[in-house]
């Protein structure tokens, strides 16, 4: 009888362990779910919604919207989601100050923000007590750390140049703890692009007509710069640089005039090997996004026909060197890809008399089927992936 009782308690303990394990797995599983995130405004709040290929998606949490005018709001644009989809950092507006009178009844304002870390499983917020600049925050590949630029008191680029300000790149845990100075860059303005493995990639501006493209080695703090093929020494003619998720490759555009017509040449760059090659030439590229496998990318080509904007979405296979048109429509913006479910999401100008109304569209990349998820004012919705 005693042995049966002990066996019974062992079984109870095993079952309890399984239940606790399932609960812990649900709470701590590495991904909240594959898909694309977007904000939708609800008065002075913004609902974060996950699109997973089914209906309008699942509401994950609600955060404060950003006030842009008296009783007018918009979704918080400075939102950065970790690679494992478990947490995000977003910047909450705290105040706004006038910093420069531009004349003609125009003024320049500076907006101040506070960073918050949000657990996407539980919806809990925690303020990050670090002076983080409202430029861009990048997560490490394992989602445990963030890199950021330290905020400065100077508000204009002229002040930055006059005071010879250098920009500090810092790293910390995702919650801001254990912050460490990584490097000090000569650039007056720095935009972090990607943190992959041992490297943080960035773009910088150090003066008028002087831009830079570089990466920081996390281990030895060495900063390496590159001037891509076709770019001048100040990178002024090179625009819209987009790194792949691993940082192995980047796309960049070079603008030129040929026979009185503006031409865009798209190049593929390999930062590590310092190799570059032209991919295609077109009139104008309005947006682009990498496919996560790095086998290719998607871009939108814009042209004006009879005073109407026409946009065509292209899928480029870099290995097969094939450029395929997959959709054509009116003004398109904010493309995002859910590669796991083979969907492309984007906003397209709605066929209504209201100028600011846009449709949220889901495009099946396999069969090219289109689903209109909803129609909303452009200022009330934001795809952030």
The CATH number covering residue 131 comes to 2.130.10.10
- Tokens representing 332 are 């398109």
In a domain, 209, yes or no: yes
> Starting at the edge strand that comes first in sequence, how are the strands of the sheet with 308-317 ordered?
285-290, 296-305, 308-317, 322-329
Best CA proximity match to 272, nearest among 210, 170, 183, 196: 196
For 1-19, letters b (16+ CB in 10 Å) and e give: eeeeeeeeeeeeeeeeeee
Q: What is the pLDDT of residue 36?
A: 92
| Predicted TM-score (pTM) of this structure | 0.86
- Tokens representing 192 are 């972090």
In a domain, 203, yes or no: yes
In a domain, 314, yes or no: no
Q: What is the pLDDT of residue 33?
A: 61
Q: Scanning the structure block, which residue is given the tokens 């943190």? A: 195
Q: What is the pLDDT of residue 32?
A: 55
Residue span of the structural domain in which 98 resides? 78-225
Q: What is the pLDDT of residue 16?
A: 46
In a domain, 245, yes or no: no
Contacts 24+ apart (CB under 8 A), 279-282: 279/251, 279/316, 279/318, 280/316, 280/323
- CA 157-161-166 angle, to 5 degrees, is 100
In a domain, 151, yes or no: yes
Block means of pLDDT (10 residues each) for the chain, length 385 residues?
A: 46 45 41 80 94 82 87 90 93 86 77 93 94 92 96 83 89 97 93 94 83 94 95 90 90 87 91 93 90 90 83 94 94 91 93 91 94 94 89
> Starting at the edge strand that comes first in sequence, how are the strands of the sheet with 189-196 ordered?
189-196, 199-207, 210-217, 223-225
In a domain, 53, yes or no: no
Domain count, the chain: 1
In a domain, 358, yes or no: no
- Tokens representing 33 are 């779910």
274 touches 255 (CB < 8 A):
no
Q: List all residues 6 or more positions away from 234 whose beta carbon is below 8 Å from its beta carbon.
A: 209, 210, 211
**CA–CA separation, 233 vs 308, rounded Å?**
37
In a domain, 310, yes or no: no
Task: Give SS3 for 331.
Answer: coil
């Amino acid at each position: 009888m005693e042995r049966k009782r002990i066996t019974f308690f062992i079984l109870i303990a095993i079952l309890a362990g399984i239940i606790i394990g399932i609960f812990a797995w649900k709470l701590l599983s590495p991904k909240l779910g594959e898909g694309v995130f977007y904000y939708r405004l609800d008065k002075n709040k913004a609902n974060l919604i996950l699109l997973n290929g089914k209906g309008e998606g699942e509401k994950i949490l609600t955060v404060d919207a950003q006030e842009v005018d008296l009783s007018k709001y918009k979704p918080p644009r400075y939102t950065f989601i970790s690679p494992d989809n478990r947490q995000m950092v977003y910047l909450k507006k705290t105040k706004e100050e006038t910093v420069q009178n531009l004349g003609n009844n125009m003024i320049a304002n500076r907006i101040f923000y506070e960073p918050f870390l949000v657990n996407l499983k539980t919806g809990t917020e925690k303020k990050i007590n670090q002076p983080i600049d409202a430029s861009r925050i990048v997560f490490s590949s394992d989602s445990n750390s963030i890199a950021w630029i330290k905020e400065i008191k100077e508000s204009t680029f002229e002040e930055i140049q006059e005071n010879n300000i250098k920009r500090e790149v810092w790293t910390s845990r995702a919650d801001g703890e254990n912050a460490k100075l990584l490097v000090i860059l000569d650039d007056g303005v720095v935009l972090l692009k990607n943190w992959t493995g041992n490297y943080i990639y960035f773009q910088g501006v150090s003066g008028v007509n002087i831009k830079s493209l570089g990466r920081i080695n996390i281990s030895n703090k060495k900063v390496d710069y590159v001037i891509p093929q076709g770019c001048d020494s100040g990178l002024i003619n090179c625009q819209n640089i987009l790194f792949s998720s691993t940082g192995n490759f980047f796309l960049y555009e070079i603008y030129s005039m040929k026979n009185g017509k503006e031409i865009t040449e798209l190049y593929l760059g390999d930062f590590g090997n310092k190799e570059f090659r032209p991919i295609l030439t077109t009139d104008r590229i309005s947006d682009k996004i990498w496919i996560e496998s790095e086998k290719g990318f998607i871009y939108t080509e814009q042209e004006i026909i009879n005073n109407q904007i026409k946009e065509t979405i292209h899928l480029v296979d870099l290995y097969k060197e094939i450029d395929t048109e997959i959709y054509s429509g009116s003004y398109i913006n904010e493309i995002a890809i859910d590669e796991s479910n083979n969907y492309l999401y984007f906003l397209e100008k709605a066929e209504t008399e209201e100028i600011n109304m846009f449709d949220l569209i889901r495009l099946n990349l396999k069969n090219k089927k289109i689903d209109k998820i909803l129609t909303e004012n452009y200022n009330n919705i934001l795809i952030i992936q």
